[in-house]
A and B are shown apart, each in its own frame.
Chain A
Amino acid sequence: MTGSTSAPAETAGAPVDRVRAWRAPAASRSNALPAGAWWLWALGLATAASRTTNPLLLGLLVGVAGYVVAARRTDAPWARSYGAFIKIGLFVIGVRLLFSAFLGSPIPGTHLVFTLPEVPLPEWAKGVRIGGRVTAEQLLFALYDGAKLAALLICVGAANSLANPARLLKSLPGALYEAGVAVVVAMTFAPNMVADVMRLRTARRLRGRPTGGVRAVLQIGLPVLEGALERSVAVAASMDARGYGRTARVPAAVRHTTNVLTLGGLLGVCAGTYGLLAAQGAVYGLPLLIAGLAAAMAGLRLGGARSVRTRYRPDRWGVRAWLVAASGAAVAVAMIWAGSADPVALHPGVVPLTAPVLPLWPAAAVLIGLLPAVVAPVPPSPTGSPVPPSPTGFEEQV
């Protein structure tokens, strides 16, 4: 990636030094990209994916996301989720195809692929079909549709494996911080429960019982829940003893204003949304929604005054973060624009069957999404970092 620019570093003079200064630095806590930047980038790609059914463009989007993940992910536990998202994506495509084949599709088609035995349905179920003719057109349509959804999911997966979820929660406004901490604690529970299940399965074996089967699950389930409960009580005690939930004294007037603003704001948001969705309320809907949002924001901000918390080394939005976020946004904007300029290229026809063509400009725009692979700080290579001698807990529990 970036290594190529530095090859003749020693011999060349000042220009190379300047290029070097622009190279992505090794990642550390100080230059870590905010989780929000990664999410904006990924949501940009996802928006782009939602605008097209061209399998070539979708493949390119997935490839871009995958390349950036491969280049910039750490070896943290959440970083391994990318593979899972790809599997979910493939599963989605499979399910979409299966449904299309079994339940039929409104796409008219002439190229018969095969015919499934059709289930005769009574008169009142007219319009529903099970089995019957399966055409190439309808399969292709389902495939495009499924691919769009899969690409969306994979883009979200990319954000998930690049951004630390705990950090994302930490960027919540002060008033919601405590809720964020609760979610972080809850997230650390899942791995602990998995470890508990493994330990209890071991214990079952030690008592000479089979470790599979429904009874085993039932018998293990209760102790696992018990263990989770005990641990949550212990964590709650620890959090309390370490000052979780300390509040500053706030004048009563401010407190009441906070409540009024938050509640009123939420009501405004509800009413405004209703107005927007309902047919005749469009006139007052938008202003009400905006006013409600503003009030709720002000309430949250005032509510933050009650919390005495400070932030330890919050992630900073530097040039690199803006570049990452902007690259995602650029891809989205370009694709939306291309959608209105050349809709045919973005939605290749199914009836009649045509081979999709890679539209040049949208494809070039998608490649902007590769920018993070160059500008984002480089995490230490997983192979170079020493393997922890013992993933404790695990080794002790097995």
Chain B
Amino acid sequence: MIRFDDVSVQYEGVDRPTLSGVDLTVPEGELVLLVGPSGVGKSTLLGAVSGLVPHFTGGRLTGRVTVGGRDTRTHKPRELADLVGTVGQDPLSHFVTDTVEDELAYGMESLGLAPDVMRRRVEETLDLLGLAGLRDRPIATLSGGQQQRVAIGSVLTPHPRVLVLDEPTSALDPAAAEEVLAVLQRLVHDLGTTVLMAEHRLERVVQYADQVVLLPSPGAAPVMGAPAEVMAVSPVHPPVVALGRLAGWEPLPLSVRDARRRAAGMRERLEGAVPGPVGGGGTGKLPPPAPAHHPAPRRSALARLFARPPQEAPEPVTDATTRVERLGVRRGRVEALRRVTLTVAPGETVALMGRNGAGKSTLLSALVGMVEPTSGTVLVGGRTPHRTTPREMVRRVGLVPQEPRDLLYADTVAAECAAADADAGAAPGSCRALVSELLPGVADATHPRDLSEGQRLALALALVLTARPPLLLLDEPTRGLDYAAKARLVGVLRTLAAEGHAIVLATHDVELAAELAHRVVILADGEVVADGPTPEVVVSSPAFAPQIAKILAPQEWLTVSQVREALGGVA
């Protein structure tokens, strides 16, 4: 269905090809998963199928890509629209119209289908994707999972024979991801659609794939094969595969179910062993208080005239524990948070979980003072966040937002660091030192936009840490990160926790929570529905349990490294 004949792609201004020597054939009616570390050209490969590369992105494509017999060199994306449906990473930038029903019809209108055909297909698609109740809703009011389903539905209505998806589940909570994957599987099974999909969160998708294409490194030729075979050699793999490799299971299990069948022996061997502690080192000591170093900013006479009274020297942080008591936040009529009580001690890592829209981000915003509580109190470092000036607040709490790019203004890493030092009142060079530590080998003159997703996150983290806040908040930090970047992040956060930073993560990534968190707090509809040590909370929960916990339940193992240590000890 899709053929790549010796395809290479090179973008302008890049000295090496992004893809080279790609020879692939994707047969009709298969679900093919494209895997590989960040930056190996997965998106480029997907774009080449829909013709967006090179017609839209520029760059040079050599070789031949044919889809359903049409050469993408001679067919523009719009001429492939009836054959290929493409959904990009961000569903919001995919939408052309404003309501669900119009969005589903848009593609068909462009192709000029007859009105009665359009009507029938829209109704069918609404049912197929479970969107019938949302048909008149403005798209902007839908949740992430719903938007992703609308995006998929909107490319399905012209009945494309090929569906190309770039990270369809990365931004979704586990339940919404299941929803989307169930739809994809139904398409492959019932309609014979060919699906080519790239995804970082392999633990969610690998068991659905008929074949896996691995791009091992930038410019390297792809490896294609049965999922188990490719996973055996892949540098990126889900925990279930890691466990399988550790145990030497052959063929490798890809789903929790397969692994559980094999794991009886392992469970026996692990009987009696005590899982190692989760999360970073226990409660350590506080980081040394930030030096109260204020480079007196030079100001013009005018600025001095309008300036506020000089800021008093920041008082030392007296109470490092973060306390949230019966916090309520309302937005219009919607109660985003209700009676939330939470205490975070220094050195503790807490994972906030819950479906999209449960109030995780709102809680983080309340902790940094972006949101004013309607009721209850928030105390961070002894201060009420929304009444404290930003300059004071950065020394008490740091938040890395969902889009780390929002924090970056400057043209170069060096300028960014200098600004951070000035903002935080830290000694010049302290930010750069952090950057070198978290992000070795990045030149001063690099533009932040040229960094990879993971590098950008590290840079944002360094900027936030410059003020040495005792409380560090991260909102969905692993979105778009591959396993290697995630492992580095886990290492960094563990060190920080060991140094005494309190860390709160809002995340959908159950594996990350299992690796890092001492405690898990689950929010639902703005209320805390579970709060307890990670093993207790996640092992019993079908949605939030990591793969290892599901495989080895009822024993309380959460991560492969725990198992490895325990087995090493036994053997």
**Residues of chain A at the chain B interface (Cβ within 8 Å):** 28-29, 76-77, 166, 181, 184-185, 188, 191-192, 199-200, 202-211, 219, 222-223, 231, 234-246, 248, 308-313, 387-393, 395-398
- Our pick among A77, A203, A235, A388 for the contact of B142 (Cβ within 8 Å) is A388
- Taking a contact as CB atoms under 8 Å apart, the answer to whether A398 and B96 are in contact is no
Instruction: Name the 7 nearest CB pairs between A and B, nearest first.
Output: A390-B357, A243-B81, A243-B110, A208-B394, A312-B105, A234-B93, A308-B112
A203–B402 Cα gap in the complex (Å)? 10
In the complex, whether B463 has a CB less than 8 A from a CB of chain A is yes
Chain B interface residue count, Cβ-Cβ cutoff 8 angstroms:
87
Known: A77-B138, A235-B96. A310 touches B88 (CB 8 A): no
- Our pick among B102, B141, B365, B419 for the contact of A202 (Cβ within 8 Å) is B365
Residue with the greatest number of chain B CB neighbours at <10 A, chosen from A199, A231, A311, A313: A313
Residues of B within 8 A of A398 (CB): 361-362, 365, 370-371
- Our pick among A185, A235, A241, A396 for the contact of B81 (Cβ within 8 Å) is A241
A389–B134 Cα gap in the complex (Å)? 13
A194 to chain B, nearest CB (A): 11
- Our pick among B119, B137, B365 for the contact of A313 (Cβ within 8 Å) is B119
15 additional A-B pairs beyond A207-B464, A237-B56, A244-B110, beta carbons within 8 Å, are: A166-B98, A199-B406, A202-B401, A205-B393, A207-B394, A207-B407, A223-B406, A235-B95, A236-B56, A242-B155, A242-B158, A313-B101, A388-B142, A390-B357, A391-B141
Find the A residue at minimum CB distance from B136.
Answer: A29
Residue with the greatest number of chain A CB neighbours at <10 A, chosen from B106, B119, B137: B106
- Our pick among A199, A205, A211, A242 for the contact of B107 (Cβ within 8 Å) is A242
In the complex, whether B322 has a CB less than 8 A from a CB of chain A is no
Residues of A within 8 A of B143 (CB): 388-390, 392
A191–B139 Cα gap in the complex (Å)? 12
Interface bits B348-389 vs A (CB < 8 Å: 1, else 0) = 000000001101011001001111000000000000000001
Residues of A within 8 A of B93 (CB): 231, 234-235, 238
Interface bits B77-108 vs A (CB < 8 Å: 1, else 0) = 11111101010101011111110011001111
Residues of A within 8 A of B136 (CB): 28-29
- Taking a contact as CB atoms under 8 Å apart, the answer to whether B115 and A208 are in contact is no
Residues of B within 8 A of A309 (CB): 109-110, 112
Residues of B within 8 A of A248 (CB): 112
A77–B143 Cα gap in the complex (Å)? 17
- Taking a contact as CB atoms under 8 Å apart, the answer to whether B361 and A208 are in contact is no
- Taking a contact as CB atoms under 8 Å apart, the answer to whether B336 and A241 are in contact is no
Residues of A within 8 A of B147 (CB): 392
A211 to chain B, nearest CB (A): 7
A376 to chain B, nearest CB (A): 17
Q: List 5 A-B contacts (CB under 8 A).
A: A207-B419, A241-B50, A309-B109, A313-B105, A387-B333
Known: A241-B51, A243-B82, A395-B361. A208 touches B112 (CB 8 A): no
Find the B residue at minimum CB distance from A207.
Answer: B423
- Taking a contact as CB atoms under 8 Å apart, the answer to whether B370 and A310 are in contact is no
- Taking a contact as CB atoms under 8 Å apart, the answer to whether B403 and A199 are in contact is yes
A237–B389 Cα gap in the complex (Å)? 42
A246–B144 Cα gap in the complex (Å)? 30
Known: A237-B52, A392-B142. A204 touches B356 (CB 8 A): no
Residues of B within 8 A of A310 (CB): 108-109, 112-115, 118
Known: A244-B78, A387-B333, A392-B357. A312 touches B115 (CB 8 A): yes
A396–B142 Cα gap in the complex (Å)? 12
Find the A residue at minimum CB distance from B364.
Answer: A398
In the complex, whether B409 has a CB less than 8 A from a CB of chain A is yes
In the complex, whether B293 has a CB less than 8 A from a CB of chain A is no
B299 to chain A, nearest CB (A): 12
A175–B277 Cα gap in the complex (Å)? 67
- Taking a contact as CB atoms under 8 Å apart, the answer to whether A203 and B393 are in contact is no
Residues of B within 8 A of A397 (CB): 361, 402
Residues of B within 8 A of A211 (CB): 390
A199–B115 Cα gap in the complex (Å)? 41
- Our pick among A77, A242, A311, A388 for the contact of B154 (Cβ within 8 Å) is A242
A245–B77 Cα gap in the complex (Å)? 10
Residue with the greatest number of chain B CB neighbours at <10 A, chosen from A28, A29, A398: A398
Contacts of B451-505 to chain A: CB distance below 8 A: 463-464, 467
Residues of A within 8 A of B464 (CB): 206-207
- Taking a contact as CB atoms under 8 Å apart, the answer to whether A241 and B78 are in contact is yes
In the complex, whether B420 has a CB less than 8 A from a CB of chain A is yes
Residues of B within 8 A of A219 (CB): 409
